[in-house]
Amino acid sequence: MADDKMGSQDQTQESLPEEEVNFTSLPGQAGKKRTAHQASFDTSNMRRLTQKRPRPSASQQIHDRYKKLQEMAAAAPPAEPESVPSSSGSLLSSAANKKRLAHRPKIPPPAGKYTLNNKRSPVKPQNSLRKSPSTPAPTLAKTAPKGGRRVAHTPAPSTLKRPTVPAEFGSKIPTSTRQQYLNKIVDECLLICQSEQAAYDRALKEEKDCYDRCTARQGYLTATVSTIRRLRSEHGLSTTPTKKAVPANQQRPKMSHAAVLGGSRAAHTSFSIHRHPIQSAEDNLQGAELYRHLLHYVLTEEQLKENGFPRPSVDKPGSAVLFKEQTKKSSDPTMKYCARCGKQFTVLNNNRYLKRDECVYHHGKLWKRRVAGGIESRYTCCQGDAQAEGCSTGELHVWDSRKEDMEGYVTTLQKSPTDDPGVFALDCEMCYTYGGMELTRVSVVNWSNKLVYETLVKPENKVIDYNTRFSGIKAEDMIGIETTIRDVQAVLLSMFSAETLLLGHSLESDLLSLKIIHSKVVDTSVVFPHKMGPPYKRALRTLMNEFLQKIIQNDVGGHDSKEDAVACVDLMKWRIKEDIRSSKL
């Protein structure tokens, strides 16, 4: 019996694998097999915990549904037009396997029989000349109703479907706004391109460029309006209607406020005491007295140098020097910095561009303003931040060459001494050419705000941008203009003397454009300084709004140089009146 047990135990050990025949050597456990611990439950079929995906929001669900509907509409085959049966087509539609039945006339009810409505129906006589079933139906001729006009049938043209803005979830610009301006761009492209498909492709590209450049809705609107204006200029349509000049003898007579209050009888009837307005002493300042008051605001030699006015060169006659250093200046004379976007580009010695790159810039200024939590900088044109891409585009980069070309300057001359050397205000408009910035218009007014001289000036180089947004000058305005800067210098030297007072706002820019050296200068940007001091300056429009409650430079067609010159005179009149009232002078 013992041998049988030992034999069965040996057989069991031989049948087990080697890794399972392991015995412990602990005392009291000899001969016992050691087995690994098994879990009380099976974990192989357990469901693995997965992280739940966040549920989409309501707006995202609507966006997904709308996008799916667009895909289904695009994938659906075009619907086939339904066939309308006609009398002539009934004969052709009978197939060979169908038998045509002869027409059976409908038998009318007898004369004495009542219908379902209990009314006696009259018997209609049968037409004995009924047409044969084999005779095809004739074509009926229709005439227009009496008094109507016959209109010929015109088949509907097969046009392509207008493009739509691709739907994007979380877009920075509303899709409805983008689609609205895309339709406007499409209308302009259809007038330029040869085919509809080419117009649609270009419109989509133009709108996408505007969308990619902007960071806010205001910037997108500014960019699209600029694009539409550029497209209209391609096919020759003006963006804004120009005002036609009205002759002086055909202008409507002006009506005073007193005439409006008095009515029609006030012109020939006196019913009250007419009180003339009392004019103060400061309103009648003229001649030598006016000149004496304005002398207190003439810039000194140090102020002329600090503000960048051209000063005569001692070493080289006919040249000028600047004592104010330029902010950006390259050691290489062919390397220029763009005056609009600030990028660096190359211009060869013959004023030819090495590479024709498009200029993307902001036409507004970067203003700082206080917000909750600090100060932020935003562009006035599109409300974009300092890192926002430009909202306007130009054909080429441009630069200001006035501070580089210091040749060809003239100086006002001394004339016979008089008590009234004269007081004038001037303003200039410039454009960008292949040679830099050049003069295009000059306006001069006297102390009575009367225009004494104004002319358009032909630039020496080919024009890149007339700067219409600010100057108001267009290419068609320069047709037939032959006046050069030398002609303007000759006229101004005959009008001004070395003692004449010249008024202006940032007048150093105008004198650089005119290439005139003058010392008796009254600059409103210095008379009304900025609270932060130089080099900051207050805008002329801001000064007029604050001190005189007048709005200038608000015309969509651009600035008016005469308006700016008159504004400088009005500001100095206000300044002198305030000084006289406060007994400062």
In whole angstroms, give the CA distance from residue 165 to residue 146: 48
Same structural domain, 473 and 562:
yes
In whole angstroms, give the CA distance from residue 508 to residue 516: 10
In whole angstroms, give the CA distance from residue 190 to residue 176: 21
Report the pLDDT value the prediction gives residue 130, as an integer from 0 to 100. 46
Average pLDDT over residues 564-585: 87
Phi and psi based region of residue 356 (left: phi greater than 0; alpha: psi -120 to 50; beta: remaining) = beta
Same structural domain, 193 and 298:
no
**252: DSSP letter:** P
Highest mean pLDDT among 8-12, 62-66, 104-108, 239-243: 62-66
| Per-residue exposure over 72-89, b if at least 16 CB sit within 10 Å of its own CB, e if not | eeeeeeeeeeeeeeeeee
Residue 416 has pLDDT above 90, yes or no: no
Report the pLDDT value the prediction gives residue 152, as an integer from 0 to 100. 65
Domain presence at residue 533: yes
pLDDT confidence bin for 136, thresholds 50/70/90: low
Report the pLDDT value the prediction gives residue 139, as an integer from 0 to 100. 53
The pLDDT tens digits of the residues spanning 155-171 come to 555 567 788 887 676 67
Same structural domain, 473 and 550:
yes
Same structural domain, 230 and 307:
no
Residue 127 has pLDDT above 50, yes or no: no
CB 196 within 8 A of CB 160: yes
Pick 376 or 185 by higher pLDDT. Answer: 185
Q: What are phi and psi of 15, to 5 degrees?
A: -75, -25
Peptide bond into 163 cis (omega under 30): no
The pLDDT tens digits of the residues spanning 64-108 come to 887 788 788 878 876 665 554 544 444 444 444 556 666 666 665
Domain count of the fold of the chain: 2
| Per-residue exposure over 150-163, b if at least 16 CB sit within 10 Å of its own CB, e if not | eeeeeeeeeeeeeb
Same structural domain, 549 and 465:
yes
Q: What is the CATH number of the domain that holds 490?
A: 3.30.420.10
Same structural domain, 214 and 291:
no
Report the pLDDT value the prediction gives residue 245, as an integer from 0 to 100. 45
Expressed as residue numbers, the domain containing 205 is: 175-234
CB 250 within 8 A of CB 244: no
Same structural domain, 291 and 228:
no
Report the pLDDT value the prediction gives residue 243, as an integer from 0 to 100. 47
Quote the tokens at residue 521. Answer: 């200068």
Same structural domain, 188 and 307:
no
Give residues with Cβ within 8 angstroms of 32, minimum separation 6. 23, 24
Q: What are phi and psi of 89, to 5 degrees?
A: -85, -5
Residue 194 has pLDDT above 60, yes or no: yes
Least confident of 231-235, 370-374, 404-408, 453-457: 370-374
Report the pLDDT value the prediction gives residue 300, as an integer from 0 to 100. 95
Same structural domain, 227 and 292:
no
**327: DSSP letter:** S
HEC readout, 501-567: EEEECCHHHHHHHHCEECCCEEEHHHHCCCCCCCCCCCCHHHHHHHHCCCCCCCCCCCCCHHHHHHH
Pick 558 or 132 by higher pLDDT. Answer: 558
SS3 371: strand
Domain presence at residue 274: no
Average pLDDT over residues 379-404: 88
Domain presence at residue 540: yes
For residue 510, the number of C-alpha atoms closer than 13 Å in the C-beta half-sphere is 24
Report the pLDDT value the prediction gives residue 106, as an integer from 0 to 100. 64
Domain presence at residue 415: yes
Listed in sequence order, the DSSP H helices in 106-243 are: 175-190, 196-213, 217-234
Same structural domain, 206 and 293:
no
In whole angstroms, give the CA distance from residue 504 to residue 426: 6
Quote the tokens at residue 560. Answer: 């008016």
Domain presence at residue 249: no
Pick 82 or 360 by higher pLDDT. Answer: 360
| Chain Cα centroid distance, residue 448 | 38
Domain presence at residue 246: no
In whole angstroms, give the CA distance from residue 400 to residue 398: 7
Phi and psi based region of residue 147 (left: phi greater than 0; alpha: psi -120 to 50; beta: remaining) = left
Same structural domain, 299 and 184:
no
pLDDT confidence bin for 15, thresholds 50/70/90: very low
The pLDDT tens digits of the residues spanning 36-51 come to 766 665 656 656 666 6
Report the pLDDT value the prediction gives residue 248, as an integer from 0 to 100. 45
Residue 337 has pLDDT above 80, yes or no: yes
Domain presence at residue 305: yes
Quote the tokens at residue 284. Answer: 């009648």
Report the pLDDT value the prediction gives residue 325, as an integer from 0 to 100. 74
Least confident of 10-14, 32-36, 349-353, 400-404: 10-14
Same structural domain, 421 and 301:
yes
Quote the tokens at residue 111. Answer: 């004369």
Domain presence at residue 493: yes
